[in-house]
Structure 1
Amino acid sequence: MADLPRSAAGDRSPWLIASIVSIATFMEVLDTTIANVALRHMAGGVGASQDESTWILTTYLVTNAIVLPVSGYLATALGRKRFYMGCVALFTLASLGCALSSNLPMLLVFRALQGIGGGGLAPVEQSILADTFPPERRAGAFALYGLTVVTAPAMGPALGGWITDNYSWHWIFLINLPFGALSIFLVSVFVKEPQAVRDDRKRFLVEGGGIDWVGFLLAALALGSLQVVLDRAVIDDGFWSPTVSWLTFACVFGFVALIPWERRQARPAVDVRLFGHRSFLAASLIMFLVAFTLFSTTQLLPQLTQELMGYDATTAGLTLAVGGIGTIFVMPIAGRITGLVQPRWVILAALLWSGGALLYATRIELGMSFWDVSTLRILQVVALPFLFVPITTAAYIGLPPDKTNDASALINLMRNLGASVGISVMNAAVVHGAQFHQNRLVESARDTNPLWAEQLRQTEQALRQAGVGAWEASQSALSQLAGQVQAQAQVLSYIDAFWLLGVAVLVLWPLVFLMRDLPKGAKPSGH
């Protein structure tokens, strides 16, 4: 790789570097999904109420969202390798602090520090990969890296369920310690800070690269407020809540002020001008959509199986893990195909498959077996490698080589925003959908409806034959049928959610035609 002056591999194999930088992201993404499963146990351990417990997740997501868009800026200002190792160290030490927390305020402080450290990992890692591999070989590198991003969310719920069912919630954080220590050691020994990247930092400092405090604060205001609104809107009754209303105003103000300010800065904290590149814009929007569907369904399926099918946390997590295993085998194929076929065509085929799989998931019913649910998940995620790899590859086509840090930060921001928005929107859709369907079903649950009357009569008769008294049988039969109505309303709301996701994916596929072609065999510009 002598013709790649920005390569972090030096005289070592670039594949070794790709493997090393994947460790920390796997740790961070895995920890996030594990924490979701163990939330109830953590709340009990620190004496938090159910409402207060959501801040354990929200605090992490807020600080993570704030750091993500400015991580490229900070990597350039502080030095890419130095910034990356600092993020890994902070995340690891904060994990230890979380495990040792004895009360809610202490846990929230360390979760905030975890979010700061975790927010800088993925952007720097993808920047390193983009600089270490030429454009025509990036697909394979991102396929290797993508194993961490795609499989960790699938493994997290199963592992988290197993840990919380069999051990203490503290181990959810303690398992990060060996991963973090290993990552810091390997990065310090094997990852090189190339001279071209050092020159970027020197030029940044010589040109007066002071901190863009205004841009940083506006980004923090906009993204921090947005994350809190997304997490609290359903809990706090939406815009009827003064807190949600004021934070929504702060979010809108932050974004409205941020964009024109950053467009005028020579060294913006958030380089919004990158969205002027059509391939990057299209890749960012599709990445948002992919994360929207992946993370929302990652929450909906375990929620469905635990609430309505009686699964415990471990079994519910295993339905996702089965799909994750499938992606492990498919990911190398996706990297190979993306290296042979233009990314836009791979993305188009994968979007059509994903949309069809989500519409197929509308076949869900309460009597489904574990393998029926797992099959639905496999169909949903088997196309993810054919989305993640070409999207990440296409995002860098045509960008100046010194913009890989900023581009990586923004593409990961779009992924995280897609996940947060997807989870919030689809949870709200399920809650309101269940209320809508229950109202409709209750309208037909009247004695004047012969089907309802017959079902009520048969249930009451069965109870009386079992020895239940007449009055008790009448009340119990009515209660049982009311429970069935409520369960059916919830199932219908999940069906609606999958239908909406499928339609969204199928409607937005024309975005692929904004993407530029990947140069075949061309020397990477600027490398």
Structure 2
Amino acid sequence: MGARASAGAKNPWIVAMVVSLATFMEVLDTTIANVALRYISGGLAVSADEASWVVTTYLVSNAIVLVASSFVAKRFGRKRFYLGCLAVFTLSSVLCGFAWNLESLLLFRVIQGFAGGGMVPVSQSILTDSFPPAKRGQAFALFGVAVVVAPVVGPTLGGWLSDNLSWHWCFLINGPVGVIAYFLVRATVEDPESAQKERAEMRKKGIRFDLVGFILVATFLGALELVLDRGQVEDWFDSTFIIVSTAVCVGSLLIAIPWFMTKDHPVIDGTLIVSRQFGSCMLVMGATGAILIASTQYIPQILQENYSYTATWAGLALSPGGIVTMMMMFGVGRLNSLVQPKYLIAIGAGIIAISMYNLTRVYADLNFGFFAWARIYIGLGLPLIFIPITSASYDGLRRDQTDQASALLNASRNVGGSIGVAIASNTLAHREQWHQSRLVEHVVPSEPSYVNAVAQATRYFIDRGVGAAEAQSRAMALIGRQVAVQSSYLAYIDVFFVLAMVSAAAVPLALILRNVDMHKGGGGGGGAH
């Protein structure tokens, strides 16, 4: 497939900017609602736990469609499929903004996720066909800016919109942007001749969509998300609902494995997943997605809950990291042609692990700069993973496997992000209860330190004109609040420690990857992720 096939006679960099704009909008929605969850919870009169489904339902539905996007794009035409996804995504975004209750919002978010899931891998295919191998590294760096920076910009933009307008604008803003992107894509992107021939060949051979495989994937991911999201609330395996959901999850996986390994045209190529090279890349991408999405949710959350930041300022704490990531993407695109990808990935994962571990030093007197620098350090590591992992994952693949490889890596990022949020949420809830139980053991009359603290606090209130009985009651309430606050800090420390371990686990996975041929133009076989 020749260069500029998807760009026609147009400058391929125009095509790259257009598809990057559409992708930026889609990926932005993975995090734009993160700091608005309190507003959504209050506006729709639901609990904070229920409001968090606004994030996870989008990620899961997005990942489900990703595995089918390659076949559908080939079968019905890449440009037609892309425009259809963009139109439905834009419409469902506006409907999210007008949602009247949680159920309607979740329904529109699922539709939005389904539509958005097809956009990223098709964008990568368009870039692959628009640039010669030697220039793809820089093109994918531009695309990578959209994929990596959008989740960081999301909380900042979402926080400002929520504080100054309303949470509805976190979704309504996609309306005008989506319309502009639709007409730009329609005017600049063309289906290459080879893709048209491939589509005709598929029709001639009667190749059909693997509906059974798609249902198995959707069932597995949906049940897994239910278990992870509801496990803490339902008391895990003391709940019949969790037991049944787990059985469905495991059962669908056990059926899917032989199905994907033996079917002629499965929705997922099982040989890709079980290969050492590509399978390891999927795991690394999943771990990276977990860090990217979970940290993007829980850093603003601790700032809002424990430091009384507004949604805007909580989001702004992530912005410097996004700027650093954006600046590094292009440099890493060049570095990727000089250094073996596995070493860059390992270094990036190591930097992120150290950065997450640094966040375990949180305490009450920290300022804005601490969290901004923490995110900057994470931002230094992300580009060292997202660009090189393209070269590593596409190495040795056949031409007909690249589209599915792109879809699977993006699905890994989203599933990893959803799992990361669920793990962080469960860790926070469980460890906060555990720490509070341990601290309360020392808040008893037999503890001299507790007696002294109550006495000092009581004198403080008496000196301000409060009666003795009321002063003692306020003193005990004050100590109770301090126990709750300290439990919260300790629980967040545990969350950041778990995320650090997840990132650290990606280092040995990266190092077992094989060396790639550095003479192919810096990993020009595929897309950025």
Which residue of 2 is the match for residue 452 of structure 1?
A: 450
Over 3 Å counting, the alpha-carbon distance change for 1:268 and 1:353 in structure 2 is same
Matching of residue 100 in structure 1 with residue 98 in structure 2: yes
* Structure 2 counterpart of 1:317, from 301, 315, 318: 315
Deviation of 1:67 (Å): 1.0
Which residue of 2 is the match for residue 239 of structure 1?
A: 237
1:476 counterpart letter in structure 2: R
Which residue of 2 is the match for residue 138 of structure 1?
A: 136
Which residue of 2 is the match for residue 395 of structure 1?
A: 393
Query: Retained in 1: the 8 A contact 2:348–2:382?
Result: yes
* Structure 2 counterpart of 1:338, from 336, 339, 344: 336
Which residue of 1 is the match for residue 182 of structure 2?
A: 184
Which residue of 1 is the match for residue 81 of structure 2?
A: 83
Q: Deviation digits for residues 417-472 of structure 1, max 9, x if unmatched?
A: 11000000111111111111112212222333333332222222222112221111
Deviation of 1:103 (Å): 4.2
Q: Deviation digits for residues 289-348 of structure 1, max 9, x if unmatched?
A: 111112111111111111111112111111112321222222222212112222111112
Alpha-carbon RMSD across the aligned residues, in angstroms, is 2.4
Tell me the percent identity. Answer: 43
Query: Retained in 2: the 8 A contact 1:139–1:393?
Result: no
Query: Retained in 1: the 8 A contact 2:64–2:411?
Result: no
* Cα separation, 2, equivalents of 1:508 and 1:233: 26
2:155 counterpart letter in structure 1: P
Over 3 Å counting, the alpha-carbon distance change for 1:7 and 1:266 in structure 2 is farther
* Cα separation, 2, equivalents of 1:363 and 1:105: 39
Over 3 Å counting, the alpha-carbon distance change for 1:232 and 1:464 in structure 2 is same
Query: Retained in 1: the 8 A contact 2:391–2:525?
Result: no
Gaps of 5+ in 1: none
Which residue of 2 is the match for residue 210 of structure 1?
A: 208
Matching of residue 381 in structure 1 with residue 379 in structure 2: yes
Which residue of 2 is the match for residue 197 of structure 1?
A: 195
* Cα separation, 2, equivalents of 1:342 and 1:333: 15
SS at match of 2:337: helix
Over 3 Å counting, the alpha-carbon distance change for 1:521 and 1:160 in structure 2 is same
Which residue of 1 is the match for residue 512 of structure 2?
A: 514
1:389 counterpart letter in structure 2: I
Which residue of 2 is the match for residue 295 of structure 1?
A: 293
Query: Retained in 2: the 8 A contact 1:88–1:117?
Result: yes
2:205 counterpart letter in structure 1: E
Deviation of 1:242 (Å): 2.8
Query: Retained in 2: the 8 A contact 1:95–1:174?
Result: yes
* Structure 2 counterpart of 1:8, from 6, 27, 36: 6
Matching of residue 171 in structure 1 with residue 169 in structure 2: yes
* Cα separation, 2, equivalents of 1:230 and 1:7: 43
Over 3 Å counting, the alpha-carbon distance change for 1:329 and 1:468 in structure 2 is same
* Cα separation, 2, equivalents of 1:212 and 1:142: 30
Query: Retained in 2: the 8 A contact 1:215–1:261?
Result: yes
Query: Retained in 2: the 8 A contact 1:46–1:101?
Result: no
Which residue of 1 is the match for residue 479 of structure 2?
A: 481
Matching of residue 431 in structure 1 with residue 429 in structure 2: yes
Deviation of 1:414 (Å): 0.4
Which residue of 2 is the match for residue 505 of structure 1?
A: 503
* Cα separation, 2, equivalents of 1:210 and 1:435: 51
Deviation of 1:53 (Å): 4.0
SS at match of 1:192: coil
Deviation of 1:259 (Å): 1.7
SS at match of 2:166: coil
2:373 counterpart letter in structure 1: T
Question: How many residue pairs end up in the alignment?
Answer: 525
Query: Retained in 2: the 8 A contact 1:60–1:112?
Result: yes
Query: Retained in 2: the 8 A contact 1:335–1:389?
Result: yes
Deviation of 1:49 (Å): 5.9
* Cα separation, 1, equivalents of 2:334 and 2:452: 60
Q: Deviation digits for residues 96-124 of structure 1, max 9, x if unmatched?
A: 22233334444343222212101111121
Which residue of 1 is the match for residue 220 of structure 2?
A: 222
Over 3 Å counting, the alpha-carbon distance change for 1:97 and 1:504 in structure 2 is closer
Q: Deviation digits for residues 326-381 of structure 1, max 9, x if unmatched?
A: 22222222212112222111112112211111111111111101112211221222
Query: Retained in 2: the 8 A contact 1:62–1:228?
Result: no
Query: Retained in 2: the 8 A contact 1:288–1:414?
Result: yes
Deviation of 1:484 (Å): 1.0
Matching of residue 264 in structure 1 with residue 262 in structure 2: yes
Matching of residue 31 in structure 1 with residue 45 in structure 2: no
Query: Retained in 1: the 8 A contact 2:285–2:412?
Result: yes
With normalisation by structure 1, the TM-score equals 0.93
* Cα separation, 2, equivalents of 1:237 and 1:52: 16
Deviation of 1:261 (Å): 0.7
Over 3 Å counting, the alpha-carbon distance change for 1:7 and 1:265 in structure 2 is farther
Judge which range, 506-515 or 203-212, deviates more. 506-515
Query: Retained in 1: the 8 A contact 2:137–2:333?
Result: yes
With normalisation by structure 2, the TM-score equals 0.93
* Cα separation, 2, equivalents of 1:257 and 1:18: 40
* Cα separation, 2, equivalents of 1:228 and 1:281: 25
SS at match of 2:519: coil
Gaps of 5+ in 2: none
Which residue of 1 is the match for residue 347 of structure 2?
A: 349
* Cα separation, 1, equivalents of 2:119 and 2:37: 24
Deviation of 1:134 (Å): 4.7
Deviation of 1:233 (Å): 2.5
SS at match of 2:318: helix
1:172 counterpart letter in structure 2: C
* Cα separation, 2, equivalents of 1:525 and 1:314: 39
Which residue of 1 is the match for residue 493 of structure 2?
A: 495
Query: Retained in 2: the 8 A contact 1:200–1:402?
Result: no
Deviation of 1:510 (Å): 1.6
Query: Retained in 1: the 8 A contact 2:133–2:525?
Result: no
Judge which range, 107-116 or 471-480, deviates more. 107-116
* Cα separation, 2, equivalents of 1:235 and 1:29: 29
Query: Retained in 1: the 8 A contact 2:67–2:408?
Result: yes
* Cα separation, 1, equivalents of 2:197 and 2:514: 29
Judge which range, 513-522 or 429-438, deviates more. 513-522
* Cα separation, 2, equivalents of 1:493 and 1:229: 21
* Cα separation, 1, equivalents of 2:502 and 2:46: 37
* Structure 2 counterpart of 1:18, from 8, 13, 16: 16
Over 3 Å counting, the alpha-carbon distance change for 1:361 and 1:100 in structure 2 is closer
Query: Retained in 1: the 8 A contact 2:128–2:525?
Result: no
Over 3 Å counting, the alpha-carbon distance change for 1:33 and 1:440 in structure 2 is same
